[in-house]
Amino acid sequence: MLRSILATAALALAAMPLVHAQELAATPPMGWNSWNHFEAKVDDKTVREIADAMVSSGMRDAGYVYVNIDDTWEGERDAQGNIRTNGRFPDMKALADYVHGKGLKIGIYSSPGPKTCAAYEGSYKHEQQDARTYAAWGIDYLKYDWCSASKVYPRSDMPKVYKLMADALQATGRPIVYSLCQYGLDKVWEWGAASGGNLWRTTGDISDRWKSMESIGFKQNGLEKYAGPGHWNDPDMLEVGNGGMTATEYRAHMSLWSILAAPLLAGNDLRSMTPETLGILTNREVVAIDQDTLGKQGYRVAQDGASEVWAKPLAGGNWAIGLFNRGPETARVTVHWRDLGLSGKHRVRDLWAHQDRGSHKDEFWYQVPSHGVVLLRVK
Ligand code: GLA
């Protein structure tokens, strides 16, 4: 009896971190991050205005809740070693309270190295202390970026170094989403979850260009088995609305990220986005593909030159299908049901047009513009 009680307790304990992770990021995290648009030009006022815009634009109600401050908020440590903000962030606790007051959550950024990538103060040898500070401020999300850690640790220590901060965060008792950023080195998808990560970057930095987005996004094929509730592959933040791609290309970007069950972290200036940008980011039917509760990452099922068909299994036996055209001319892209292991007739809905397209046997095709997508839900 006693032995079985003990065994049950041991099992429950072993399962604890996982339960914690799943509750925290049951579906891919959604929100905003300062880096893609603002880089080092982010401050308290901007973050408050972004939080305001997140609510007034309807982004929050579409599911975007994390307001994440990336690199360059850090100041110097005080005499006791406590991390302080720099002059652009006069009071992080007050800022967190403000963001929470809007029904949003707040994220922050650091590095396991002595310095961040932008050469601000990192968390090296201050991991527990920094985790306690974040928790005291009310932080809900930490992006932890390798950067100068390469100067103080051998690469092989990475899993251990990431686990150190995971444990420090957990010890605070505050639920904090933990985002690993080390650019996909050493197959992080194989050990990121064991190091306590809720998500891990799988590639180098994205930029606001079709070439960058496409080379990152379409390279994710094969990583699908590592993603699931509580632990996600992260192909980097969205560039939608930053101006370097066409609306057609941004729809392809948003569609691909949703099929990939990628974190949806908008990277644009939410205070001044066009209705078209807002429409792309908040298309409820597209967001629902990303946030589907089955938690499966999609993959490529067919490729013919520049035409690619990607598919994501959804709850209830549905599928999301992306018909992508990476080429320079309009092309006909066809999905064959047999490539999904399906036969018979299936109902098709176009998620950008918001229209049902009838019931189809064997296959369904579309003329897809250059760099465009047709995103479907198949029932
Ligand atoms: C690295 C990361 C980026 C960003 C910058 C900040 O390049 O990959 O996402 O956080 O650092 O310095």
Percentage of the residues of the chain whose pLDDT score is greater than 70: 94
Distance CA 188, CA 358 (A): 42
206 lines ligand 1 (CB under 6 A): no
Asked if residue 339 has its Cβ within 6 Å of ligand 1, the reply is no
DSSP character at residue 221: T
Q: Is 68 helix (H, G, I), strand (E, B) or coil?
A: strand
User: Which pLDDT tens digit goes with each residue over 303-319?
Assistant: 999 999 999 999 999 99
Find, among 37, 4, 13, 26, the residue nearest to 269 by Cα.
37
Minimal-distance CA residue to ligand 1 atom 3: 205
Nearest-angstrom CA–CA distance, 362 and 10: 51
Which residues lie closer than 8 Å to 103 by C-beta, 6 or more apart?
Answer: 55, 60, 65
Decide whether any atom of ligand 1 lies within 6 Å of the 118 Cβ. Answer: yes
Q: What is the mean pLDDT of the chain?
A: 95
State whether residue 368 is helix, strand or coil. Answer: strand
Neighbours of 186 (CB within 10 A): 12
Residues classed as catalytic? 145, 205
C-alpha distances (whole Å) from 99 to each of 7, 18, 270 are 43, 28, 15
Tell me: do 218 and 188 sit in the same domain.
yes
Six-digit token string for 372: 């465009």
- Residues 172-226 have pLDDT tens digits of 999 999 999 999 999 999 999 999 999 999 999 999 999 999 999 999 999 999 9
| Atom 1 (ligand 1) nearest CA | 117
Task: Report the nearest atom of ligand 1 relative to the CA of 204.
Answer: 8
Task: State the closest ligand 1 atom to the C-alpha of 201, by its place in the atom list counted from 1.
Answer: 8
Last residue of a domain, one of 265, 290, 315: 290
In angstroms, the CA 107 to CA 363 distance is 44
From residue 91, give the alpha-carbon distance in Å to each of 45, 74, 109, 331: 11, 12, 16, 53
The CA 370 to ligand 1 mean position distance, Å, reads 30
The answer on 372 and 239 residing in a single domain is no
Query: CB of 145 closer than 6 A to ligand 1?
Result: yes
Residue 23: its pLDDT value, please? 81
- Maximum distance among all Cα pairs of the chain, rounded to whole angstroms: 71
Kindly state whether residues 218 and 305 are assigned to the same domain: no
Contact (Cβ atoms closer than 8 angstroms) between residue 111 and residue 58: no
Protein residue with least CA distance to atom 9, ligand 1: 205
Question: Residue 7 above 70 pLDDT?
Answer: no
Domain co-membership, 149 together with 280: yes
Does one domain contain both 263 and 309?
Answer: no
The pick from 205, 206, 216 for probing ligand 1's pocket by mutation, whose C-beta has the most ligand atoms within 8 angstroms, reads: 205
As for how many domains the chain has, the answer is: 2
d(CA 267, CA 235): 13
CATH number (domain holding residue 140): 3.20.20.70
Shared domain check, 240 and 108: yes
Nearest to 326 by CA among 249, 251, 258, 262: 249
Tell me: do 214 and 345 sit in the same domain.
Answer: no
Give yes or no for residue 70 CB within 6 A of ligand 1: yes
The pair of structure tokens assigned to 159 is 């899993």
Rounded to an integer, what distance in angstroms lies between the CA atom of residue 160 and that of residue 295?
27
> Of the candidates 290, 325, 348, which is a domain's last residue?
290
Residue 305 is part of a domain; what is its CATH number? 2.60.40.1180
Whether 35 lines ligand 1, by a CB cut-off of 6 Å, is: yes
Return the ligand 1 atom nearest residue 39 CA. Answer: 6
Whether this model's pTM surpasses 0.75: yes
Q: How many CB atoms lie within 10 A of CB 38?
A: 19
pLDDT at residue 18 in the model: 47
239 contacts 245 by C-beta, under 8 angstroms = yes
> Ligand 1 pocket, 238 CB below 6 A?
no
Give CA separation, 321 vs 233, 260, 298, 311, 329, in Å: 19, 11, 9, 5, 21
In whole angstroms, what separates CA 206 from the centre of its chain?
13
Look at residue 68 and tell me whether its pLDDT is greater than 70.
yes
For 84-116, what is each residue's pLDDT tens digit?
999 999 999 999 999 999 999 999 999 999 999
Q: 327 and 229, same structural domain?
A: no
Query: Tell me, what's the pLDDT at 21?
Result: 60
117 lines ligand 1 (CB under 6 A): yes
Sort strands 74-77 and 355-361 into parallel, antiparallel or unpaired: unpaired
Residue 328 belongs to domain spanning = 299-378
Number of alpha carbons in the 13 Å side-chain half-sphere of residue 317: 5
Closest CA to 209 of 234, 237, 182, 246: 246
pLDDT in tens, 12-38: 444 444 445 668 999 999 999 999 999
- The confidence score (pLDDT) of residue 5 equals 52
Rounded distance from Cα 158 to ligand 1 centre (Å) = 17
How far does the centroid of ligand 1 lie from the alpha carbon of residue 327, in Å?
Answer: 30
- Cβ neighbourhood burial of 331 (10 Å; 0-12, 13-18, 19+): buried
Closest residue CA from atom 6 of ligand 1: 71
Are residues 366 and 229 located together in one domain of the fold? no
Q: What is the per-residue pLDDT across 361-372, written as a single tens digit (0 to 9) for each?
A: 999 999 999 999
Helix (H) or strand (E) holding 247: helix 247-259
Q: Which residues pair with 366 in a beta bridge?
A: 333
Domain termination site, one of 273, 290, 307: 290
Which DSSP string do the residues of 203-265 spell out, in sequence order? SS---SSHHHHHHHHGGGTT-GGG-BTTBEEE-----TTSSSS-HHHHHHHHHHHHHTT--EE
Q: Give the residue whose CA is nearest to atom 11 of ligand 1.
A: 117
Over residues 323-333, the mean pLDDT reads 98
Half-sphere exposure of 44 (CA within 13 A, CB side): 15
Check whether residue 184 and residue 328 sit in a common domain.
Answer: no
Asked whether the predicted pLDDT for residue 129 surpasses 60, the reply is: yes
Is there a single domain that holds both residue 324 and residue 204?
no
- In ligand 1, which atom is closest to the CA atom of 109? 10
Q: What is the pLDDT of residue 3?
A: 54
Residue 376 region by backbone torsions, left for phi larger than 0, else alpha for psi between -120 and 50, else beta: beta
Do 99 and 234 fall within a single domain? yes
For the chain, give the percent of residues with pLDDT over 90: 94
Nearest protein CA to atom 8 of ligand 1, as residue = 205
